Protein backbone atom coordinates (compact mmCIF):
# COMPACT_ATOMS: atom_id res chain seq x y z
CA UNK A 1 0.00 0.00 0.00
CA UNK A 2 2.81 2.35 0.85
CA UNK A 3 4.52 2.05 -2.53
CA UNK A 4 1.30 2.61 -4.44
CA UNK A 5 1.03 5.95 -6.19
CA UNK A 6 4.74 6.48 -5.72
CA UNK A 7 6.49 6.50 -9.06
CA UNK A 8 9.83 7.71 -10.18
CA UNK A 9 9.23 11.35 -11.07
CA UNK A 10 12.61 12.53 -12.28
CA UNK A 11 11.55 15.37 -14.56
CA UNK A 12 9.36 17.54 -12.34
CA UNK A 13 12.52 19.06 -10.85
CA UNK A 14 13.00 20.96 -14.10
CA UNK A 15 9.58 22.61 -14.04
CA UNK A 16 9.51 26.36 -13.74
CA UNK A 17 7.55 27.95 -10.94
CA UNK A 18 7.17 31.57 -9.98
CA UNK A 19 9.49 32.97 -7.37
CA UNK A 20 8.79 35.80 -4.93
CA UNK A 21 5.07 35.12 -4.64
CA UNK A 22 2.51 37.34 -6.41
CA UNK A 23 5.07 39.94 -7.46
CA UNK A 24 7.10 37.29 -9.29
CA UNK A 25 3.95 35.83 -10.84
CA UNK A 26 2.92 39.25 -12.15
CA UNK A 27 6.18 39.74 -14.06
CA UNK A 28 6.77 36.03 -14.79
CA UNK A 29 9.87 35.92 -12.61
CA UNK A 30 10.69 32.23 -12.18
CA UNK A 31 12.90 30.39 -9.74
CA UNK A 32 15.31 29.94 -12.64
CA UNK A 33 15.70 33.71 -12.87
CA UNK A 34 16.04 33.89 -9.11
CA UNK A 35 18.91 31.40 -9.21
CA UNK A 36 20.60 33.31 -12.03
CA UNK A 37 20.34 36.43 -9.93
CA UNK A 38 21.74 34.55 -6.92
CA UNK A 39 24.66 33.24 -8.99
CA UNK A 40 25.45 36.74 -10.23
CA UNK A 41 25.32 38.13 -6.70
CA UNK A 42 27.62 35.36 -5.43
CA UNK A 43 30.08 35.88 -8.30
CA UNK A 44 30.19 39.66 -7.88
CA UNK A 45 30.47 39.31 -4.11
CA UNK A 46 33.31 36.80 -4.45
CA UNK A 47 35.25 38.94 -6.89
CA UNK A 48 34.63 42.23 -5.07
CA UNK A 49 35.30 40.79 -1.65
CA UNK A 50 38.27 38.77 -2.84
CA UNK A 51 39.89 41.67 -4.65
CA UNK A 52 39.34 44.19 -1.87
CA UNK A 53 42.43 43.42 0.29
CA UNK A 54 44.93 43.48 -2.64
CA UNK A 55 47.44 41.63 -0.46
CA UNK A 56 50.74 40.23 -1.79
CA UNK A 57 50.12 37.05 0.17
CA UNK A 58 46.44 36.38 -0.56
CA UNK A 59 43.89 35.37 2.01
CA UNK A 60 41.32 32.67 1.37
CA UNK A 61 38.87 34.69 -0.72
CA UNK A 62 41.58 36.51 -2.62
CA UNK A 63 43.27 33.19 -3.40
CA UNK A 64 39.97 31.80 -4.69
CA UNK A 65 39.26 34.85 -6.84
CA UNK A 66 42.83 34.83 -8.17
CA UNK A 67 42.60 31.11 -8.95
CA UNK A 68 39.51 31.63 -11.06
CA UNK A 69 41.05 34.66 -12.75
CA UNK A 70 44.34 32.97 -13.56
CA UNK A 71 42.65 29.77 -14.68
CA UNK A 72 40.53 31.55 -17.27
CA UNK A 73 43.35 33.90 -18.23
CA UNK A 74 45.70 30.98 -18.96
CA UNK A 75 42.94 29.27 -20.91
CA UNK A 76 42.22 32.31 -23.07
CA UNK A 77 45.87 33.21 -23.58
CA UNK A 78 46.71 29.60 -24.39
CA UNK A 79 43.96 29.19 -26.95
CA UNK A 80 43.54 32.58 -28.57
CA UNK A 81 47.07 33.86 -28.08
CA UNK A 82 48.31 37.15 -26.71
CA UNK A 83 45.83 39.28 -28.66
CA UNK A 84 43.05 37.26 -27.09
CA UNK A 85 43.43 39.19 -23.83
CA UNK A 86 40.72 41.62 -24.85
CA UNK A 87 38.16 38.81 -25.00
CA UNK A 88 39.06 37.68 -21.49
CA UNK A 89 36.16 39.50 -19.74
CA UNK A 90 33.67 37.83 -22.06
CA UNK A 91 35.01 34.32 -21.50
CA UNK A 92 35.44 34.92 -17.78
CA UNK A 93 31.84 36.08 -17.37
CA UNK A 94 30.56 33.08 -19.31
CA UNK A 95 32.73 30.65 -17.36
CA UNK A 96 31.69 32.00 -13.96
CA UNK A 97 28.01 32.13 -14.88
CA UNK A 98 27.98 28.54 -16.13
CA UNK A 99 30.16 27.23 -13.30
CA UNK A 100 28.09 28.83 -10.55
CA UNK A 101 24.87 27.76 -12.25
CA UNK A 102 26.09 24.16 -12.28
CA UNK A 103 27.44 24.20 -8.73
CA UNK A 104 24.56 26.10 -7.11
CA UNK A 105 22.19 23.66 -8.79
CA UNK A 106 23.77 20.82 -6.82
CA UNK A 107 22.70 22.32 -3.50
CA UNK A 108 19.55 20.80 -1.98
CA UNK A 109 16.30 22.56 -3.06
CA UNK A 110 18.19 24.63 -5.60
CA UNK A 111 17.32 24.87 -9.27
CA UNK A 112 19.88 24.31 -12.04
CA UNK A 113 19.29 26.99 -14.64
CA UNK A 114 21.88 25.40 -16.96
CA UNK A 115 19.56 22.39 -17.26
CA UNK A 116 17.27 24.35 -19.57
CA UNK A 117 18.12 24.35 -23.27
CA UNK A 118 16.68 27.87 -23.54
CA UNK A 119 19.36 29.16 -21.17
CA UNK A 120 22.29 27.21 -22.62
CA UNK A 121 21.26 27.97 -26.19
CA UNK A 122 20.94 31.63 -25.28
CA UNK A 123 24.51 31.60 -23.99
CA UNK A 124 25.79 29.58 -26.96
CA UNK A 125 24.03 31.86 -29.44
CA UNK A 126 25.66 34.84 -27.74
CA UNK A 127 29.05 33.14 -28.24
CA UNK A 128 28.14 32.48 -31.88
CA UNK A 129 27.15 36.11 -32.48
CA UNK A 130 30.24 37.48 -30.75
CA UNK A 131 32.67 35.21 -32.62
CA UNK A 132 31.02 35.97 -35.96
CA UNK A 133 31.01 39.72 -35.32
CA UNK A 134 34.66 39.59 -34.19
CA UNK A 135 35.64 37.68 -37.33
CA UNK A 136 33.71 40.08 -39.58
CA UNK A 137 35.14 43.13 -37.82
CA UNK A 138 38.73 41.86 -38.00
CA UNK A 139 38.72 40.31 -41.47
CA UNK A 140 35.77 41.82 -43.31
CA UNK A 141 34.96 39.94 -46.49
CA UNK A 142 37.92 37.59 -46.03
CA UNK A 143 35.86 35.92 -43.30
CA UNK A 144 33.79 34.20 -45.97
CA UNK A 145 36.94 32.47 -47.21
CA UNK A 146 36.66 30.49 -43.99
CA UNK A 147 33.96 28.42 -45.64
CA UNK A 148 36.14 27.38 -48.56
CA UNK A 149 39.60 26.03 -47.76
CA UNK A 150 42.43 27.32 -49.91
CA UNK A 151 43.76 24.94 -52.51
CA UNK A 152 40.58 22.92 -52.91
CA UNK A 153 39.45 22.46 -56.51
CA UNK A 154 36.81 25.01 -57.47
CA UNK A 155 34.30 22.49 -58.79
CA UNK A 156 34.00 21.08 -55.28
CA UNK A 157 32.71 24.43 -53.98
CA UNK A 158 28.99 23.52 -54.25
CA UNK A 159 29.64 20.58 -51.92
CA UNK A 160 32.21 22.07 -49.56
CA UNK A 161 30.58 25.44 -48.94
CA UNK A 162 27.17 24.18 -47.70
CA UNK A 163 28.87 21.55 -45.55
CA UNK A 164 31.20 24.14 -44.02
CA UNK A 165 28.33 26.57 -43.46
CA UNK A 166 26.22 23.91 -41.75
CA UNK A 167 29.23 22.85 -39.70
CA UNK A 168 29.68 26.47 -38.61
CA UNK A 169 25.97 26.83 -37.81
CA UNK A 170 26.06 23.64 -35.74
CA UNK A 171 28.52 25.16 -33.26
CA UNK A 172 25.99 26.91 -31.00
CA UNK A 173 23.82 23.79 -31.06
CA UNK A 174 26.59 21.42 -30.02
CA UNK A 175 27.82 23.91 -27.42
CA UNK A 176 24.37 24.27 -25.83
CA UNK A 177 23.28 20.64 -26.17
CA UNK A 178 26.45 19.37 -24.49
CA UNK A 179 25.98 21.50 -21.37
CA UNK A 180 22.22 20.99 -21.23
CA UNK A 181 22.41 17.21 -21.71
CA UNK A 182 25.11 16.78 -19.10
CA UNK A 183 23.21 18.74 -16.48
CA UNK A 184 19.86 17.08 -17.19
CA UNK A 185 21.36 13.57 -17.23
CA UNK A 186 23.16 14.14 -13.95
CA UNK A 187 20.12 15.52 -12.14
CA UNK A 188 17.81 12.82 -13.48
CA UNK A 189 20.27 10.17 -12.31
CA UNK A 190 20.47 11.74 -8.86
CA UNK A 191 16.69 11.90 -8.62
CA UNK A 192 16.20 8.32 -9.80
CA UNK A 193 18.59 6.90 -7.23
CA UNK A 194 17.16 9.14 -4.51
CA UNK A 195 13.72 7.76 -5.32
CA UNK A 196 15.12 4.22 -5.11
CA UNK A 197 16.25 4.99 -1.57
CA UNK A 198 12.75 6.03 -0.56
CA UNK A 199 10.95 3.20 -2.36
CA UNK A 200 13.29 0.47 -1.12
CA UNK A 201 13.44 1.94 2.37
CA UNK A 202 9.74 1.28 2.92
CA UNK A 203 9.78 -2.21 1.45
CA UNK A 204 9.71 -4.38 4.59
CA UNK A 205 12.02 -5.18 7.51
CA UNK A 206 15.05 -5.54 5.21
CA UNK A 207 14.19 -2.40 3.23
CA UNK A 208 16.49 0.04 5.02
CA UNK A 209 19.45 -2.33 4.53
CA UNK A 210 18.86 -2.63 0.77
CA UNK A 211 18.26 1.12 0.53
CA UNK A 212 21.87 1.66 1.59
CA UNK A 213 22.95 0.57 -1.89
CA UNK A 214 21.30 3.37 -3.90
CA UNK A 215 22.16 5.77 -1.09
CA UNK A 216 25.86 5.02 -1.46
CA UNK A 217 25.52 5.32 -5.24
CA UNK A 218 23.99 8.75 -4.71
CA UNK A 219 26.88 9.83 -2.50
CA UNK A 220 29.28 8.87 -5.30
CA UNK A 221 27.06 10.57 -7.88
CA UNK A 222 27.09 13.88 -6.04
CA UNK A 223 30.87 13.87 -6.18
CA UNK A 224 30.78 12.93 -9.85
CA UNK A 225 28.26 15.68 -10.56
CA UNK A 226 30.54 18.20 -8.91
CA UNK A 227 33.28 17.07 -11.30
CA UNK A 228 30.88 17.35 -14.24
CA UNK A 229 29.82 20.83 -13.11
CA UNK A 230 33.41 22.06 -13.24
CA UNK A 231 34.24 20.10 -16.38
CA UNK A 232 31.29 21.41 -18.36
CA UNK A 233 32.01 25.01 -17.38
CA UNK A 234 35.61 24.41 -18.47
CA UNK A 235 34.49 22.85 -21.76
CA UNK A 236 32.13 25.76 -22.41
CA UNK A 237 34.92 28.26 -21.77
CA UNK A 238 37.55 26.40 -23.80
CA UNK A 239 35.26 25.92 -26.79
CA UNK A 240 34.40 29.62 -26.66
CA UNK A 241 38.13 30.37 -26.74
CA UNK A 242 38.68 27.94 -29.63
CA UNK A 243 35.92 29.65 -31.60
CA UNK A 244 37.46 33.01 -30.75
CA UNK A 245 40.82 31.67 -31.96
CA UNK A 246 39.21 30.71 -35.26
CA UNK A 247 37.57 34.14 -35.46
CA UNK A 248 40.81 36.02 -34.74
CA UNK A 249 43.15 33.95 -36.89
CA UNK A 250 40.89 32.38 -39.56
CA UNK A 251 42.34 28.94 -40.41
Partner 1 sequence: MNEQNDFDARLRQARQKRGLDKADADAAAGGSSGLAGSALRVGMRAGVEVVSALIAGAGLGWLLDRSLGTFPWLFMLFFVVGGAAGVLNVYRLFNPRNGAPR
Closest separation between CB of residue 71 and partner 1, Å?
A: 15
Which of positions 153-192 make contact with partner 1 (CB under 8 A)?
159, 162-167, 169-171, 173-174, 177-178, 181
Q: How many CA atoms lie within 13 A of 99 on its CB side?
A: 19
Rounded to a whole number of angstroms, the distance between the first and last alpha carbons of the chain is 65
Residues whose CB falls within 8 Å of the CB of residue 95, separated by 6 or more in sequence, listed in order: 68, 72, 233, 234, 236, 237
Nearer to partner 1 by Cβ, of 174 and 216: the residue is 174
Which of positions 73-112 make contact with partner 1 (CB under 8 A)?
78-79
SS (H, E, C) 206-223: CHHHHHHHHHHHHHHHHH
Closest separation between CB of residue 197 and partner 1, Å?
A: 26
**Torsion angle (degrees, nearest 10) of CA 222, 226, 227, 228:** 90
CA distance 58 to 30: 38
Closest separation between CB of residue 159 and partner 1, Å?
A: 8
Nearer to partner 1 by Cβ, of 107 and 227: the residue is 227
Closest separation between CB of residue 45 and partner 1, Å?
A: 29
**102 touches 112 (CB < 8 A):** yes
Bridge partner residues of 18 (DSSP): 30
Closest separation between CB of residue 237 and partner 1, Å?
A: 11
Binding test (CB under 8 A) with partner 1, winner from 138, 192, 226, 242: 242
Closest separation between CB of residue 162 and partner 1, Å?
A: 5
Nearer to partner 1 by Cβ, of 6 and 86: the residue is 86
| Site size toward partner 1, by CB under 8 A | 24
The helix (run of H) or strand (run of E) holding residue 36 is helix 31-51
Closest separation between CB of residue 179 and partner 1, Å?
A: 10
Binding test (CB under 8 A) with partner 1, winner from 197, 240, 245, 247: 245
Task: Rule CB under 8 A: say whether 145 interacts with partner 1.
Answer: no
Angle at the Cα of 209 (from 208 to 213), degrees rounded to 5? Answer: 105
**9 touches 195 (CB < 8 A):** yes
Interface positions with partner 1 (CB under 8 A): 78-79, 159, 162-167, 169-171, 173-174, 177-178, 181, 235, 238, 242, 245-246, 249, 251
Amino acid sequence: MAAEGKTIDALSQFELTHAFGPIGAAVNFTQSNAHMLAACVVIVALMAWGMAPRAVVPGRFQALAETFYEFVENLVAGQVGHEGKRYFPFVFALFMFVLFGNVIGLLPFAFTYTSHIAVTFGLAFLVFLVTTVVALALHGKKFFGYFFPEGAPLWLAPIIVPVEVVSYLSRPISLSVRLFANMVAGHVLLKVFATFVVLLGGLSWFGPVVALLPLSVNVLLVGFELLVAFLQAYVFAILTSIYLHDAVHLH
